[in-house]
Structure 1
């Protein structure tokens, strides 16, 4: 398979299905190619001798070889056409034709066969059901869209061809340019990960952006994007948010960490800057294409209008940034340079009669302040202020101090003229102050992405054979669920559990209780009863003398609650002191795109109500595990809030890592809950366990 980037640099392009028929896709593609493409064009259509002045060949075999082929033939002819291209030595194919998996089972069959043909000939295939591809550097517009892209440094991928046509129409008006554009279509062969990898190696791509409805191979995407974002920012809009994954899950973890949580975790770990709207997507991209990252989160605001200045201040308060705190020297310099009526504290209000010189002096003084990492210049139009001259001043000061500056030059015609000046130096202008701040915020977020360190997952010394034997018990069950009767699984991976045993009669219950110091917990063991405490299936603080009766009681309550429930026995377990500890949950739900999704949070009986959790895609190292303990709202409880003795957070962090290793070692584990994992000053103990096993994977 050739390099994906070569797809955007062909010397010869063939259109299979080229035609001169008005309104036909094959004609639109050929016309778009003829606009700017300087290479050789080859038209192929058995029913034409000539198309738009080009000689038309009857089939691929009779045509000259091409670097890139655009296929616009009926669905029934696509497979044979692609096979002929493979035999002719073509490496890159764009299948524009629709009628594949998006149409039903017959189309899905054709798509599988297309994938097989591509694999047999080692082809790079875009689509099917694709609008096509563009490269402004190569003058290549191999799409049937109505607009070509302006030149720029943004590379753009989209699962929606219609989205591309709308974006290009809007972007051309806004003066936003692109390097490469690709309509992913059905992603039968090439997907988002392939293009992220390719553009990460492309020196002409400053920012990668995308509109995605799903991600084919989430774990591979995270791995590739994490490497790419070390040098090239990635901004994505992900649509199609759904709770279907959560609805299908049977564990606490699965219910809380549904599909959208997996995307959130995976994209964050990949270093992707996520946008929630199309406007944000391009606002972020414009800021990031400038390339300068703020050294600090402090923002200076320079304005000639009080109201917009306040709006900007509010927007900074809502972001990850903060208002810069000017030092005494900055305040003195501003006081000397500004009129008495001006506000010299951040935000700097140079008042309504400010000319370009006053604006420039205020910006210069602000950027010189050591706490200022970036600045926003906000202005309303006045008779004494020329926006295009102000734009030149902003460029000068940005270049002098090498700090990011964005502008909010509010207005129409005047602002558009200034935007043309600013655009040459990659300084974005926004009408809304909140959008200007969001652009700076994206720069700061990407700075943090580049500054991060990713720990390699630690490999603990565990007993995998013992764990496999325990998991294999699910193969002997009517269902594929295991519970507290399999607590040895955790011990095999070094996760502490209280002393105890699952017993099958009250006499044995009494024997086990007598072997444990102090009172015990008596708990029904049934895969069919999730919330055991709700039905009286748990007795706490039971002494030796009462264990026999407690056993009979929890069994009776379980039978009365659900007569057909499978009862595997009763767990007799050492009491754990909860007064000085915090009940947490650690678990995993295997996401279809991203694989094992780890969850940590506040646990106990209210876990699904409070939903105070953090998630990561496994495997993870110590850094990610520790961040999970910091992210939850209940983090102060672990660290000793209100006079409580701090929990052993290191033990919690190690437990999360051990669980990460367990679910990576055994893909057969589909879901797993340890709830509660009791975290106290002396360490952690796993009190309860539930998991679901795919026995075919063992």
Structure 2
């Protein structure tokens, strides 16, 4: 019972490549109408029409103008409805107020794509927002896709389409460029002619009424002419769509972003320009890291990175070897490298000994390797060969300064020849030939050999830093996380335990909401943490002196007293903490002292009593773990150095939930405290694996309890023998907010609602659940149970086991975006071996830019014909309904009668595919 995916699928990755994209109407139209075309000199309507007809794209252009019989000698039509033939793309340049009506006419005429050049929408305020609402309502009526409004337009330099009012057509190339600023587009266009940079697409996206970053990233990700995607961004728009698309595409094509608004003044300027809110820049960096996007700060870096990543492999680490014929440039490059977080590679003793044999005594065989100013091409070549083979290096920078003995051209030729014969797999090679015309020929030779050259070595070092950070972020996305057996909640195969966690936490939150409060007491906050298995200090409530003494004696001295209040969360600010209380008398004095201090500072009505806790040995590190809500990305996690001086040290890192063990480690690695946690100066390390799992549990708490507005554990005491929350603070959203208006996480969390047991026809019980990243080892074993016949029925040709079980492929199959795909696995606990097995996988993949999806499945041979295929498809169809999809399809080989029968029993109809050995199964909702 296997389903076939059409030949446009890449079986190495299971990534669907579609023959038709909804955005083809915009990027590859057969016919284009310019609505608002005119002959007025200098007008946008005239310029766009002229650009379309003077740069042939293989289609017909129709001017639409009710007041003229022709425009620029071409017959004009009074409305889009009167244009003969089918129009794919409408370019609209009429006043903003007329655009809703124009879009309505286009929908009635069957137009599937529009570019709205006109300004005067949300950037002008409420009136413009209403116009956008009307435009979108009309477009949705006919499934029309719109770019803009307030944009320059779209170019497809590969086909020749120029639907913009720019003065020139971009050169064809392999860079997909998207910009929110039309003015910047024209500047980049002028620059590209000077630098001979070509584009596969050149898009001014405007204010993103409809088509957003996610749509364009998906489209360019599927485009065979695009090798890298370059973005100028002012606002993120639909955060979930952007992250979903970027994460899927980034592994195969670099996505490089320059995002303005890092400073408060710039953020306000961007907001007024685009009419959108701008969130925290720190949060945006965390989002980019999570999706594998590389952020740069200059236009120069934007295109440097696009080109260098297309020419050179990504480095495996941050260790760079520098080979130079002058000490100064080597030091300059070193400073830039270290400042940006990179490291000089520590050359092996073997490498240094080999260098000593070929270099003058005064040369430096340490890194940077200084081969002296009289270095000829042969010395460069021999030194390079030795340095390249050093196992401690992740990349190479070759620097040449023109001196009397230098031969820049011959050195470049020899470098290229040496690289042909020396294996450097996975090591990027960068070069800096310093000088003007004297080194130009050598630079050209290196560039033709895909060795990216820079005029200055510090720029090259900065680019290397960007390259390894990009690699680091991508590895974090697809590194297989660990699933410990003793981590309730992380194991999605324990739905009963997970339900208990969620239910207990919801009960605590609901009880607080019923009182009308938004602030949890410390006692309630710790109960909430404990419900998710986050260890807390035992805490008891006392509302009288005597009660405090009795509890202290029960707990055992010394103890701590803290203010118990339903209104105050920062207890130290009001004198609400007393430590190291060793007897009954000190407890009584502490109780009275807290009561008096609170009454004096904020009022007696804020004192509800105290909590009594054991005084713990505070040996260890104080950490803060928290979460708050970002207006664009929803809940955001924080990790860093905690304690009373948390705001002074500001050692923190942010991440988007949910986390797994790999992402939790990545979050910790970004902080200074992480170095201490690993063990310093003879101190043993903290149990980092347990800390990872605590962070995973905390992230689950944040995303599964959407009423939490703010939460922090400060401090979390971390020592080699324990992790324990000493204090906690939780703030809820206003109870007046409706549940559907609560902030949602930017990354869709694990869909635990689809976890459920099921019994096969032979009585075998399995758990059917969504796939998770930790499943990769189980999926390897599952593929070993699949026969060649089943593989053929799935892919329409044989795919070797070694191909099917590569980490690159399986990481993408297991670590999916639940917004884009839903893969269900059948998990079976084998009583004979005591091992957990995956025995089948069913997948529902949404088609980019549509409300349709394709399904597929593959079941291990010995578990076929037991009803699992039917159950998989039934559940996938229910998910499709839950996701509001309108159609589900599958292409099934004609030989696969079993899968065809299952589909038909569940309501699919069959259509033969001409010229192909398959039928298309279709189900419309």
Q: TM-score, normalized by length of structure 2?
A: 0.69
Question: Which region of structure 1 is more displaced relative to structure 2, 78-87 or 420-429?
Answer: 420-429
Name the counterpart of 1:409.
433
State the Cα distance separating 1:561 from its structure 2 match.
0.3
Q: Match of 1:301?
A: 322
Q: Is the CA contact (8 Å cut-off) linking 1:667 and 1:697 kept in structure 2?
A: no
Aligned match for 2:49, one of 30, 36, 40: 30
In 2, the alpha carbon distance for the partners of 1:476 and 1:381 equals: 77
1:109 to 130, 134, 149: 130
Matched, 1:657 2:696: yes
Q: Which residue of 1 aligns with 2:885?
A: none
Per-residue deviation at 1:679? 2.5
Corresponding residue for residue 434 of structure 1: 458
C-alpha distance in 2 between matches for 1:34 and 1:390: 49
CA deviation string 1:395-446 (max 9, x = no partner): 4444444553222223334555555555444433221211122233333333
Counterpart check, 1:375 vs 2:396: yes
TM-superposition CA deviations, 1:271-301 (whole Å, max 9, x none)? 1121122222222222112142345655343
Say if 1:33 and 1:142, in contact at 8 Å, map to a contact too. Answer: yes
Instruction: Give the alignment partner of residue 62 of structure 1, picking from 72, 79, 82.
Output: 82
Select which of 483, 490, 494 maps to 2:521: 483
What residue is the counterpart of 2:262 in the other structure? 241
CA contact (8 A) 1:356 1:389 kept: yes
Query: Structure 1 residues 348, 179: closer, same or farther in 2, change over 3 A?
Result: same
Distance 2:645 2:635 in 1: 23
Report how far residue 122 of structure 1 moved.
Answer: 1.5
Match of 1:86 in 2: 107
Match of 1:464 among 502, 508, 525: 502
2:29 matches 1:10 = yes
Whole-angstrom CA distance in 1 between matches of 2:449 and 2:303? 17
- Residue 75 of structure 1 and its aligned partner are, at CA, apart by 0.2
Gaps of 5+ in 2: 1-19, 268-278, 484-489, 740-925
Larger deviation: 477-486 or 165-174?
Answer: 477-486
Q: Which residue of 2 aligns with 1:550?
A: 590
> 1:171, 1:177 within 8 Å by CA — same for their partners in 2?
yes
Between 597-606 and 409-418, report the one with greater CA deviation. Answer: 409-418
**Partner secondary structure for residue 481 of structure 1:** coil
Whether contact under 8 Å (2:148, 2:209) holds in the other structure is yes
CA contact (8 A) 1:398 1:405 kept: no
Aligned partners of 1:454 and 1:621 also within 8 Å? no
Question: Could you tell me how far 1:70 is from its partner in structure 2?
Answer: 1.4
After superposition, the Cα gap between the structure-2 partners of 1:428 and 1:601, relative to the gap in structure 1 and judged at 3 Å, is: same
1:672 paired residue number: 711
Show CA shifts across 1:361-419 (max 9, x none): 54445435444543323233457766566555444444444553222223334555555
Q: Which residue of 1 aligns with 2:233?
A: 212
Task: Check the 8 A contact 2:320/2:397 in 1, yes or no.
Answer: yes
Q: 1:631 to 1:207 in 2, by over 3 A?
A: same
Q: Any conservation in 2 of the 1:398–1:404 contact (CA below 8 Å)?
A: no
Q: Alpha carbons of 1:396 and 1:179: their partners in 2 closer, same or farther (altered >3 Å)?
A: farther
2:81 pairs with 1:42: no
Change (3 A) 1:406 1:640: closer
Give the conservation status (yes or no) of the 8 Å contact 2:153–2:164: yes
Q: What pairs up with 1:381-420 in 2 under 5 angstroms? A: 381=402, 391-401=412-422, 402=424, 403-415=427-439, 419-420=443-444
The CA distance in 1 between the partners of 2:543 and 2:226, in whole Å, is 66
SS of corresponding position for 1:377: strand
1:606 is aligned to 2:618: no
Q: Give deviations 1:53-102, integer Å, cap 9, x for gaps.
A: 32222111011322222111100111111122222222221111111111
Partner of residue 513 from structure 1, selected from 538, 552, 557: 552
Find the residue that maps to 2:557 and give its secondary structure. coil
Question: 1:146-181 CA distances to partner (integer Å, 9 max, x unpaired)?
Answer: 233222211111111111111121122112222112
How much does 1:263 deviate? 1.0
CA contact (8 A) 1:15 1:30 kept: yes
Q: 1:333 to 1:682 in 2, by over 3 A?
A: closer
Distance 1:611 1:319, change over 3 A: closer
Q: Quickly say closer, same or farther: Cα 1:375–1:629, change in 2 above 3 A.
A: closer
Distance 1:19 1:390, change over 3 A: farther
User: Which is worse superposed, 401-410 or 294-303?
Assistant: 294-303
Q: Which moved more, 1:388-397 or 1:118-127?
A: 388-397
Q: Provide the residue aligned with 2:726 in structure 1.
A: 687
Describe the SS at the equivalent of 1:69.
strand
Please identify, of 466-475 and 152-161, the stretch whose mean Cα deviation from structure 2 is larger: 466-475
Q: 2:179 aligns with which of 153, 158, 170?
A: 158
Q: Which moved more, 1:480-489 or 1:132-141?
A: 480-489
What does residue 73 of structure 1 align with?
94
Residues 1:587 and 2:607 aligned together: no
CA distance in 2, matches of 1:619, 1:597: 9
Structure 1 residues 611 and 45: CA distance shift in structure 2, 3 A = same
User: Does 2:314 correspond to 1:275?
Assistant: no
1:124-203 pair list within 5 angstroms:
124-203=145-224
Describe the superposition over 1:470-501 as per-residue Cα deviations: whole angstroms up to 9, x where unpaired. 21244345552223141321222222222223
Cα distance in 2 for residues equivalent to 1:360 and 1:642: 43
For the structure 1 residues 677 and 411, does the alpha-carbon distance in structure 2 shift closer, same or farther, using more than 3 Å as the test? same
State whether residues 206 and 233 of structure 1, in contact with CA within 8 Å, keep that contact through their aligned partners in structure 2: yes
| 1:52 has 2:72 as partner | yes
User: Residues 574 and 602 of structure 2 are in contact (CA less than 8 Å); yes or no, is this contact kept in structure 1?
Assistant: no
Distance 1:61 1:588, change over 3 A: same
Partners of 1:371 and 1:581 in 2: CA distance: 34
Q: Deviations 1:230-276 (Å, cap 9, x if unpaired)?
A: 211111111112579x9xxxxxxxxxxx8222112111111112112
Per-residue CA deviations over 1:334-379 (Å, capped at 9, x if unaligned) read 5666677765654444555555555445444543544454332323
Cα RMSD of the aligned pairs, angstroms, is: 3.0
| 2:835 corresponds to | none
- With over 3 angstroms needed to count, the CA separation of the structure-2 counterparts of 1:463 and 1:366, relative to structure 1, is closer
Does 69-78 or 106-115 show the bigger shift?
106-115
Matched residue SS, 1:569: coil
Measured in 2, the distance between the counterparts of 1:28 and 1:390 equals 49
Number of equivalent positions: 685
Shift of 1:568: 5.7
**3-state SS in 2 of match to 1:274:** strand
In the superposition, relative to structure 1, how do residues 317 and 493 fare at CA in structure 2: closer, same or farther (>3 Å)? closer
Contact persistence 2:599–2:607 (CA under 8 A): no
**In 2, Cα distance between equivalents of 1:2 and 1:271:** 24
Alpha-carbon distance between aligned partners in 1 of 2:675 and 2:332, rounded to the nearest angstrom: 33
Structure 1 residue 606, shift from structure 2 partner: 1.4
Structure 2 residue aligned with 1:250 = none
CA contact (8 A) 1:266 1:616 kept: yes
Provide the C-alpha distance between the structure 1 equivalents of 2:316 and 2:572, rounded to a whole number of angstroms: 53
Q: Which deviates more from structure 2 when the two are superposed, residues 532-541 or residues 332-341?
A: 332-341
Aligned: 1:448 with 2:487: no
Give 3-state SS (helix, strand or coil) of 1:82's partner.
helix
Of 568-577 and 347-356, more deviation after overlay is shown by 347-356
Deviation at residue 545 of structure 1 after TM alignment: 4.2
The counterpart of 1:123, out of the listed 132, 144, 151, is 144
